[in-house]
Amino acid sequence: MAQDKNTGQQPDFTRRKFLEGLVAGGIVLGLAPWRSAQAAASNAAAAPVLNGTEFDLTVGESVVNFTGNLHFATTINGSLPAPTLRWREGDTVTIRVKNTLTVPTSIHWHGIILDYRMDGVPGITYRGIAPGETFTYQFKVQQAGTFWYHSHSGFQEQQGMYGAIVIEPRDGMAVQADRDYVVMFSDWTDEDPMRILRKLKSQSDYYNRHLPTAGQFFSDVKKNGLSSALDDRQMWNEMRMNATDIADVNGQTYTFLTNGTTPAGNWTGLFKPGEKVRLRLVNAAGMSFFDVRIPGLAMTVIEADGNPVQPVTVDEIRIGVAETYDVIVEPKAEAYTIFAQSMDRSGYARGTLATAAGMTAAIPALDEMEPLGMGDMMGDMMGGTKVNHAKTEYGPSVDMRVDTPRSNIDDPGVGLRYVERKVLTYADLKSVGGIMGPEKADMEMELHLTGNMERYVWSIDGVEFGKSTPVHFPYGKRIRVVFVNDTMMSHPMHLHGMWSDLENPDGGLQVRKHTIIVQPAQRISFLVCADALGRWAWHCHLMYHMHTGMFREVVVA
């Protein structure tokens, strides 16, 4: 078992509190810091809801207890998640944000189209909110749907500073429902995020509980034959890579939350049989992809990233960090489990839909962890792909390049390819009425998502943010962006201030999003209308990838 190079101690892989939480979890109300954990109160309710056009938000610290230990979280109005903000399309909202922390803070309105000076990214759009300062955001709401907001300062988002935004359409809901719930998934850690980053820098696979073992090798021999098992193990060893490197940070340190509540706390949404229930699924995690399903209950997807899509009924949805999906369900039984397992199968978030408080349904077992396949490393093998290793033309920040990436968007991703469930893919998503905007691009740019796992650095075109120059989008132009993922990890790429119109492999427009997952060894293309003057952020929404360099500034002028 590997040792923690920062402490010299062996990591404790068996502590179940990180998987389910020993307590209901949540804000510890009315307690001075560090009082006994036994005094913690259960907080299984959803976040407070604030309606209207005028909002006052206070950023501060609150004591939380998710694992049996008290810790400080960064919160808004003393709530984790932060209050849900309900706006109306066409209104002008004014949001006063007071910082009571001892360090600067910020709020970014994720997916909201606005003036760049209101976007809330320190060093790009403004200087941030200093301790003791109040900053006023004001902008007209130009869209409807489900969105979210979070800090863009340090690791405050990882420490609890995030909340949902629900924007009602000017002309009323196109799809009616009897109940309407935000279901926000996240990952909480008792560890200092900087300590996590130091661990990853010194040992990038520190949190990987699925390192190859002799038992797995003999299992592969039995399944595929000795020659195949030897060839496979030799290939991965020569590449100095690991087929189980699916999540950098996982359930070894994370407790996965639903609306700020541990699996033991069991957040519950009530319904009456026969009602239609709208679930607004939001992934507000720092590093975790979730595979979401409700056993015994199909989900009809009606929105993706706040934009209406042609309804598609599925059993399961992989929701990447920062994505949102709205679904309609029609429960008939008395209770159902909302089950969101992490992509690497190291834990899960859980909630319940029920006809009465206190009811539960069976919690499914975690699926077996599926290792990465050849296509995740080599891309389109039929296209003659080869992978270049060692130092390439991108230099020491890059440890691999995929020469012929795959371009399919109908792949549900590792862990979901062989399940007997209908899993949503990007190929299933079609914007209602098509995508407004020309299909022809005025210009095209190709960017490579790159990294070096040994050094734990992430970059774009082999250049970390601190060494990069801005990407320039000429104002008014339609730009085709091609992302090529030269790594073996999925990256949720978020462009601030503008929509990303995803293309299919044939060049047709598919769906409008604000965050696009680029899978390992995959080529993704999308069109952007550069219609928003100013300076914008563009980055991977995996927090530790963003902080180590997978970030660029975009200038529209």
pLDDT in tens, 303-338: 999 999 999 999 999 999 999 999 999 999 999 999
pLDDT at 174 over 50: yes
Q: Which residues lie below 8 Å from residue 237, measured CB to CB, with a gap of 6+? A: none
Helices (H), 192-338: 193-202, 214-224, 226-238
Which of the four pLDDT bands, split at 50, 70 and 90, describes residue 453?
Answer: confident
Which of the four pLDDT bands, split at 50, 70 and 90, describes residue 39?
Answer: very low
pLDDT confidence of residue 42: 35
pLDDT at 126 over 90: yes
DSSP string over 170-203: TT--SS--SEEEEEEEEEEESS-HHHHHHHHHH-
pLDDT at 143 over 80: yes
Tokens 């130092």 map to which residue? 391
Which of the four pLDDT bands, split at 50, 70 and 90, describes residue 354?
Answer: very high
- Mean pLDDT of all residues belonging to the chain: 88
Nearest to 431 by CA among 497, 320, 509: 509
Which of the four pLDDT bands, split at 50, 70 and 90, describes residue 160?
Answer: very high
Question: Cα(485)–Cα(380) distance, rounded to whole angstroms?
Answer: 12
pLDDT at 124 over 80: yes
pLDDT confidence of residue 245: 80
Percent of the chain's residues with pLDDT above 90: 75
Q: Of 47-56, 82-91, 374-383, where does mean pLDDT reach its minimum?
A: 374-383
> What strands lie across the sheet with 316-319, from one edge to the other?
267-270, 348-354, 335-342, 290-293, 316-319
pLDDT confidence of residue 243: 75
pLDDT at 292 over 80: yes
pLDDT confidence of residue 436: 78
Global pTM value? 0.89
Given the DSSP bridges, would you call strands 335-342 and 54-65 parallel, antiparallel or unpaired? Answer: unpaired
pLDDT confidence of residue 386: 46
Q: At what angle do helices 214-224 and 226-238 cross, to 10 degrees?
A: 130
pLDDT confidence of residue 233: 59
pLDDT confidence of residue 458: 96
pLDDT confidence of residue 215: 57
pLDDT at 127 over 90: yes
Percent of the chain's residues with pLDDT above 70: 84
Q: Of 100-109, 390-399, 485-494, 537-546, where does mean pLDDT reach its minimum?
A: 390-399
pLDDT confidence of residue 370: 87
Q: Of 164-168, 194-198, 271-275, 394-398, where does mean pLDDT reach its minimum?
A: 394-398
pLDDT at 210 over 90: no
pLDDT confidence of residue 375: 73
pLDDT confidence of residue 139: 98
pLDDT confidence of residue 387: 47
CB burial string 232-247: b at 16+ within 10 A, e below = bbeebeebebbbbbbb
Radius of gyration of the chain (CA): 23
pLDDT at 208 over 90: no
> Vertex 146, ends 144 and 147: CA angle to 5°?
100
Q: What is the DSSP letter of 423?
A: B
pLDDT confidence of residue 205: 87
pLDDT confidence of residue 381: 56
pLDDT confidence of residue 3: 42
pLDDT at 23 over 80: no
Q: Which residue has the higher pLDDT, 211 or 355?
A: 355
Q: Which residue has the higher pLDDT, 321 or 8?
A: 321
Given the DSSP bridges, would you call strands 54-65 and 92-99 parallel, antiparallel or unpaired? Answer: parallel
pLDDT at 76 over 60: yes
Average pLDDT over residues 10-38: 50
pLDDT confidence of residue 220: 61
The per-residue pLDDT for range 404-451, each reduced to its tens digit, is 899 999 999 999 999 999 999 999 999 999 887 777 899 999 999 999
**Contact in structure between 319 and 326 (CB atoms under 8 Å):** no
